[in-house]
Chains A and B, each alone.
Chain A
Amino acid sequence: MLPEGAGVQVLDELARALGGSPALGGATVTLAPAGALRGDDLNALEALLIGQHGAACVEVVRAAAIEPAMGRGAGGVAAPGSGARGGDPRAAGREGVGDSLLVRRTLRSGQRVRFTGNVIVLGDVNPGAEIVAGGDIVVMGTLRGVAHAGAGGDGEAIVAAFRLQPTQIRVGGVIGRSPDGAYERPDVPEIARVRDGALVVERLQPAFGEIAAGDGHA
């Protein structure tokens, strides 16, 4: 577990502890930062663990919620100011839902992000990449890989993307995959969620209040 604001000092210590060899050959390394992990820090950690020590992938989970306690807040989506940026783990009653991880790059094949809150990707999620989130997943780009929202069992979670062409989507315990063969790929943002036990994909309407209410009829 890293102290809040994992910085250069922690990186140096980690590098020293690991020595000069590819000791992590093929392992998955799970990071559980106590506070917010900045994008730069994450990149530096990845460079160290994957680049120099041969880890297969790096995951990020919230320290506070390693034992999943995924109670979803009443409103569904975090209210403004409840820590969507940076995340305050003490935000009462919202833990795991109010926290969001902002991934400011494209996730490429073999890369995986695991996070107990919401995950927002500013980029694409390519085939072979995977996002597992306790809350919602929003991809501001093309989602072609695997997205698992509501991984703690939250059936009200959503997956939204500018272009939704996933290999597979899971919400809570419901799994949906893209049709075999050629299928229509609308050139508009879409949203996937569970309705009556089945995964439904529909056009993302600008009626955000409806999404927040979680009971919309599009």
Chain B
Amino acid sequence: MGEVIVITSGKGGVGKTTTSANVGAALAAQGRSVVLVDADIGLRNLDVVMGLENRIVYDLVDVVEGYARVRQALIRDKRFENLCLLPAAQTKDKTAVNPDQMRGLCRELREEFDFVLVDSPAGIEQGFRNAIAGAEQALVVATPEVSSVRDADRIIGLLEAERMPAPRLIVNRMRPAMVRRGDMMDIGDIIDILAIELIGVVPEDEAIVVSTNRGEPAALLPTSRAGAAYREIARRLLGETLPIAGSAAQEATLFGRLRRLLGAR
């Protein structure tokens, strides 16, 4: 039985959809069967990022309303046999689905896939409630900005109230040079406030803009630094223990500082 993981953030524009697409592609590249569920009903994006927009026939709302079977709505990825997308509806809104329906849908999908990744909409209202309903784990995406960290904190509080065990943090769009100059929050500052496990730091990378527009996940590009970070996140999800890439990130953690003090590295 597969794992259902919701990717969420509270704040919009921090990279939930990019993260979903790239972590999904990276897991598929590792040979796991993955389904990406776009829970952002009314603001459908994940299909575009995956480059699958032109293949949509049925969507998530059609499935929960019984107009289509899950199998009919799933779109197989161009690159990987074992990667599928369940697109959101573009013409409806968040009230078209309720948490019970999402729970049922996730239960059905996890029978067939190793990983069910649910891309949550921004906000804390019904769309968010729907996205987390069927999930048993959460990845919280935040950028190194005070507003984003504040919203991530709110989301973690809501996930805790839902008894979601230990959400894990992805810090996105990190710019090590700015951190070194003291112009950006470092990983230590963020972890200080959020106090959850860090599963990856994704550097700012222009390749993301290009790959998003082309519908080619950067995780599949060997030259992209962000892509490499996403591949590492996928391996950590599979249980590997890897040091968090980016020396700035490592130095910033208290542990890193201690290690440097002790001269261990």
Contact = CB atoms under 8 A, between A and B. Distances in A.
B150 A127 contact: yes
A144 B195 CA distance: 14
Contacts of A38: none
Counting from the closest, the 8 A-B pairs by CB-CB distance are A108-B157, A109-B153, A109-B154, A51-B162, A110-B154, A50-B161, A108-B153, A46-B161
A136 interface: no
Contacts of A144: 193
Interface in A62-89: none
B82 interface: no
Contacts of A22: 126, 129
A168 interface: no
Contacts of A128: 150, 153-154
A107 B158 CA distance: 11
Nearest to B157: A108
A111 interface: yes
A50 B126 CA distance: 12
Given A110-B154, A127-B146, 18 more contacts: A20-B100, A22-B126, A50-B158, A50-B161, A51-B161, A108-B156, A108-B157, A108-B160, A109-B150, A109-B151, A109-B153, A110-B157, A110-B158, A111-B157, A124-B193, A126-B153, A126-B193, A128-B154
Contacts, number: 45
Interface of A: 20, 22, 43, 46-47, 50-51, 54, 105-111, 124, 126-128, 142, 144
Interface centre among B151, B161, B195 (most CB of A within 10 A): B161
Interface in B133-175: 146, 150-151, 153-154, 156-158, 160-163
A47 B163 contact: yes
Contacts of A109: 150-151, 153-154, 157
A82 B131 CA distance: 47
A110 B156 CA distance: 11
Contacts of B195: 106, 124
A108 B154 contact: yes
A124 B196 CA distance: 13
Contacts of A47: 161-163
A165 B151 CA distance: 19
Nearest to A48: B161
A46 B159 CA distance: 11
Given A106-B195, A124-B195, A126-B193, A51 B154 contact: no
